[in-house]
Structure 1
Amino acid sequence: MNRIYHDQAASLREEFINVPTKIITVLSGKGGVGKSIFSVNIATDLASKGKKVLLFDSDAGFANASILLGNSLKNTLSDYMKGNISFRDCVQETNYGVKIISTGFDFTDWQIFQNNFNDSILNEFLILLRDIDYFIIDVGAGYSEKLNNFYINSDTIFLVTVPEPTAIVNGYTLLKALSLLKVEGEIEIILNMVKNKNEVNSVKSVLSNTTRRFLNREIKNFYEISYDENVHLSVKRQIPLVSLKSSSRFSKDIMSITTNILNLKVEHPISFTMRLKQIFSKSSTN
């Protein structure tokens, strides 16, 4: 029996050597800049374009992606680790074609999860992701050394900020931390809640020049998302704005970003299976 299990596991991992699933991590230097709203809306728009999307809400203690998608959080990975449910029970379907899986952890639970992450759980994730085009990870605000492997193993990182001095400083600090980690994936800036172009040009100049001068790194893409009062309505109604009002300024900006995501072609030097193991297993932390 063990021989059969190991053969199946080996076959599964072999299948994932060249898996096309893209890992996208969304983060921010501080809270309140619309990080989770951005994650939910790009996930929804990608799903509306026929892509299979799994949104992983890993913001320990502050998970809210399911609420923004109109779903009550029933089962989490925390419940699974306690032996109360199966792994598949952790995956929530939504009305927008996006699947959600949430840690449901507080900070202590996350450490327990990493300490107990084994080949069996890895295989569960691989089976789940076998049919997924985009694995979007919404992480907590600010830099956390515990999440280094999330950053390092992403194909693309979206750093969400707003045109305010404290947010820009925190965004740059996070950008510096990511650059020191020498992440392989592209780091792209999302400037959210933009009210006028002068804000964009000033922030873009400061971040681009500072990053180039002190970190020796270029920001490949710098996206703008317009300030839109409809965002508050979508949060209140728990419907992603790209679905609620596809003609809104916010939605059009999101759609422009997802068009570029659809053209994302990244060849990461590490296999998908190894990256997934590094993301979740504490034993793989650098």
Structure 2
Amino acid sequence: MSIIKDQAENLRKTFSKNRTKIILVTGGKGGVGKSIVAVNTAVNLAKMNKKVLIFDTDAGFANASILLGVSPTVSIKDYFDKKLTLEECIIKTPYGIKLLSTGMDIKDWISFQKNFTRKAIEEFFNIAKEHDYVIIDVSAGYNENLKPFYIAADNILLVTTPEPTAIVNAYTVVKALSILEVDGVVDVVINMIRKRSEANTAEQVLRKTIKEYLFKDIRNVFYINFDHLVHDSVKSQTPISSFKPSSHVANDLMIIAEKIENTTSEHERKNSDNLLKKLLLLFGFYNR
């Protein structure tokens, strides 16, 4: 027991003054623009002179690098293969943010599923504390492998579209999160809106669902209108926030980053050592 206490004390000293915020971006299904929201939020926070790391955990399908216009020569697989340290797997981008990618090959997916252990999580959080924000872009749906990140997130951005299938799948993710008793603040992003009435309906359904299963209210609901410029920015491999910063859709995305930066919840004010407590929880040193 004394060893565990010693380890906990070392973590406490390391993280007691840390204010890193962990933002987890998730969605019920693919194609809702989850990675676009994650990448542009990261880019916009960097514009505010924040240190941002984005971790693309969608192994085998990781596309944050494409959206950022970078061609990674390394991925977390190099860490698992013991070729590089985790720090050496992090890629710099032209937008002032750093990227840790799980890779786009099926072998990367196998490696990630097999090797993403508690030790890797601990090393990741040691890197995380050097940043103001860590944005974790998780695969669509619920991934048991990433359970520690759902628990550790200060802010969960649940991305959906107004389409019924997307809402149903978002509903399923909320039910999965309820099992974990997540503490993070929940924000909803309704993307690709063509009719405001459909977005309003989607918001009502998700507000009710989150209240029922997570016993909390949605803090913010963000609306992002459909715009062909997003497709153009993806083709050019440039985040829309830089591709056409004056556009309405870029403004919609900027609002998300501004709210995240400017809004400090009561929960966060009372828990300035939030990252520490969640680390202790993850590594078995702290009970709810």
How far the C-alpha of 1:276 sits from its partner, in A, is: 4.7
CA distance in 2, matches of 1:169, 1:50: 37
Q: Deviations over 1:87-116 (max 9, x none)?
A: 332111111001001123644322432347
Q: Which residue of 1 aligns with 2:236?
A: 237
User: Aligned AA for 2:255?
Assistant: S
Q: Which residue of 1 aligns with 2:275?
A: 272
Q: Which residue of 2 aligns with 1:117?
A: 119
User: Aligned AA for 2:275?
Assistant: F
User: Aligned AA for 1:194?
Assistant: I
How far the C-alpha of 1:177 sits from its partner, in A, is: 1.7
Structure 2 CA distance for partners of 1:196 and 1:138, relative to 1, 3 Å: same
CA distance in 1, matches of 2:13, 2:63: 35
User: Aligned AA for 1:112?
Assistant: K
CA distance in 2, matches of 1:115, 1:49: 33
| Range with greater deviation from structure 2 (245-254 or 82-91) | 82-91
CA distance in 2, matches of 1:10, 1:131: 19
Structure 2 CA distance for partners of 1:18 and 1:163, relative to 1, 3 Å: same
CA distance in 2, matches of 1:205, 1:33: 18
How far the C-alpha of 1:117 sits from its partner, in A, is: 1.7
| Range with greater deviation from structure 2 (109-118 or 96-105) | 109-118
In the TM superposition, 1:137-286 aligns within 5 A as: 137-213=136-212, 216-265=215-264, 266=268, 268=271, 272-273=275-276, 275-276=278-279
Q: Which residue of 2 aligns with 1:36?
A: 35
How far the C-alpha of 1:256 sits from its partner, in A, is: 1.0
Q: Which residue of 1 aligns with 2:20?
A: 21
How far the C-alpha of 1:148 sits from its partner, in A, is: 2.0
Structure 2 CA distance for partners of 1:268 and 1:169, relative to 1, 3 Å: farther
Q: Sequence identity of aligned pairs in percent?
A: 45
CA distance in 1, matches of 2:113, 2:122: 16
Instruction: Structure 1: give runs of 5+ residues left out of the alignment.
Output: 1-6
How far the C-alpha of 1:250 sits from its partner, in A, is: 1.0
SS of alignment partner, residue 13 of structure 2 = helix
Task: Answer whether contact 2:28 2:166 (CA < 8 A) is retained.
Answer: yes
User: Aligned AA for 2:156?
Assistant: I
Q: What TM-score does the superposition give when structure 2 sets the normalisation length?
A: 0.85
RMSD over equivalenced CA pairs, Å:
2.9
Structure 2 CA distance for partners of 1:83 and 1:192, relative to 1, 3 Å: same
CA distance in 1, matches of 2:118, 2:285: 10
SS of alignment partner, residue 32 of structure 1 = coil
SS of alignment partner, residue 169 of structure 2 = helix
Task: Answer whether contact 2:86 2:123 (CA < 8 A) is retained.
Answer: no
Structure 2 CA distance for partners of 1:89 and 1:254, relative to 1, 3 Å: same
Q: Which residue of 2 aligns with 1:4?
A: none
Q: What TM-score does the superposition give when structure 1 sets the normalisation length?
A: 0.86
Q: Which residue of 2 aligns with 1:70?
A: 69
Task: Answer whether contact 2:56 2:138 (CA < 8 A) is retained.
Answer: yes
How far the C-alpha of 1:62 sits from its partner, in A, is: 1.0
